Structure 1
Amino acid sequence: MFRILFVCHGNICRSTMAQSVMTELVRRAGRDTDFLIDSAATTREALGCTPHHGTVAELKRRGIPVAPHRARQITAAEYGDWDLIVGMDDENMGDLERILSRSPAWHLDGGARVQKLLSFVADGDASPAPRDRTGRVRDVADPWYTGDFTATYRDVLAGCEALLAQLTARA
């Protein structure tokens, strides 16, 4: 079983969207029993909250079931529980390092389990491109601030499709 944890700032927009999208992609591929998918926050700001209404509306518009979820914060003790921990932006990646580097398992692999979602997308496979002009992996924009849940969905879908393709190619 492959265990994936999606992480964003509050665990009510991007990470819950990615959890729902990836769960549905895995289901459609007939691989539900091969994956455990969850999401978490780097902060405590929205603990216990359900997914944001904008995330719910965008997923419903796309015909994707919303994974039942309440916001929670990732802990250092969880690092060894996941095969892959996927952050949405550079701030998440820094927060994940700060939180997870307290885990002894982190020090065994140097944090190799933590990756940014759009790092799975090959250049030319998404619009807009997954990398900026300097070659850095682009962030999945936070719709809490942008209000653009459609753009966030587009990035989340591209990242999840690319991730699933890479994981199933290995299996």
Structure 2
Amino acid sequence: MKARILFVCLGNICRSPMAEAVMRHQVEQAGLSHRIEVDSAGTGDWHLGHPPHEGTRKQLDQHRISHQGMKARLVISDDFESFDYIVCMDTNNLRDVRKLLNDAGGAKREGDGSQKQLFTFMELLPDKAMADVPDPYYDGNFSFVYELVDNGCKELLKRVQSDLDMN
């Protein structure tokens, strides 16, 4: 069995591509690339086809994590069938993804007993007492976001490995 993870933020140029790249790197380091696939998407269409934000690329470069070939794309209704874990970077993204899911007639997918999981990224880091990953597009704090993403991806990798081991 293969697990597929989708990270979602607003424009798909800052937080979600950072999480995609970090998670992909951690998956490779764990030797699980053949069992776990990672992607990212956005709920807004302002940056479609663009590479990750310069601040995101700078953080990834500092940590020697590849962002090669990454381009912003929109969340689409097919993503609900394709991905096992849809991880939203903030509560607004979660609301927008749920609306898209409902509009696509897939409301029963969430909590229907299937392996599908839809949640916010910060649920992976409950000790942080934060609901949302802050958007560095507005505040420029890419290093803080990187720390959250790195730690959260480690927790997600543990969860996915455990789920894979159970199947």
- TM-score in same-fold range (> 0.5): yes
Query: What secondary structure sits across from 2:51 in the alignment?
Result: coil
Residue 116 (structure 1) aligned to one of 111, 117, 120: 120
Aligned twin of 2:98: 97
Give the 3 Å change call, closer, same or farther, for CA 161–67 of structure 1 in structure 2: farther
For residues 49-101 of structure 1, what are the alpha-carbon distances to aligned partners after superposition, in whole Å with 9 as ceiling and x for unaligned?
11111100001111211142111101123211110111001111111111121
For residues 26-63 of structure 1, what are the alpha-carbon distances to aligned partners after superposition, in whole Å with 9 as ceiling and x for unaligned?
00001011011100000111111111111000011112
Query: What secondary structure sits across from 1:115 in the alignment?
Result: strand
Q: % of aligned pairs identical?
A: 35
In the alignment, the residues of structure 2 paired with residue 114 and residue 108 of structure 1 have an alpha-carbon distance, to the nearest angstrom, of 9
CA RMSD for the aligned pairs? 1.6
Aligned twin of 2:153: 160
Q: Partner amino acid for 1:14?
A: R
In the alignment, the residues of structure 2 paired with residue 26 and residue 52 of structure 1 have an alpha-carbon distance, to the nearest angstrom, of 23
Give the 3 Å change call, closer, same or farther, for CA 163–82 of structure 1 in structure 2: same
Q: Which moved more, 1:97-106 or 1:79-88?
A: 97-106
Cα deviation, residue 17, structure 1: 0.2
In the alignment, the residues of structure 1 paired with residue 109 and residue 148 of structure 2 have an alpha-carbon distance, to the nearest angstrom, of 31
Aligned twin of 1:26: 27
In the alignment, the residues of structure 1 paired with residue 109 and residue 63 of structure 2 have an alpha-carbon distance, to the nearest angstrom, of 40
Which ranges in structure 1 are unaligned for 5 or more consecutive residues?
124-128, 133-137
Which ranges in structure 2 are unaligned for 5 or more consecutive residues?
none
- For normalisation by structure 1, the TM-score amounts to 0.87
The reply on whether 1:144 has 2:137 as its aligned counterpart is yes
Q: Partner amino acid for 1:62?
A: H
In the alignment, the residues of structure 1 paired with residue 22 and residue 110 of structure 2 have an alpha-carbon distance, to the nearest angstrom, of 28
Cα deviation, residue 169, structure 1: 2.5
Aligned twin of 1:69: 70
Q: Which runs of 4+ in 1 moved over 4 A?
A: none
Q: Which moved more, 1:103-112 or 1:73-82?
A: 103-112
In the alignment, the residues of structure 1 paired with residue 101 and residue 14 of structure 2 have an alpha-carbon distance, to the nearest angstrom, of 22
Contact 1:42 1:92 in 2 (8 A): yes
Contact 2:12 2:42 in 1 (8 A): yes
- For normalisation by structure 2, the TM-score amounts to 0.89
Cα deviation, residue 110, structure 1: 4.6
Query: What secondary structure sits across from 2:78 in the alignment?
Result: helix
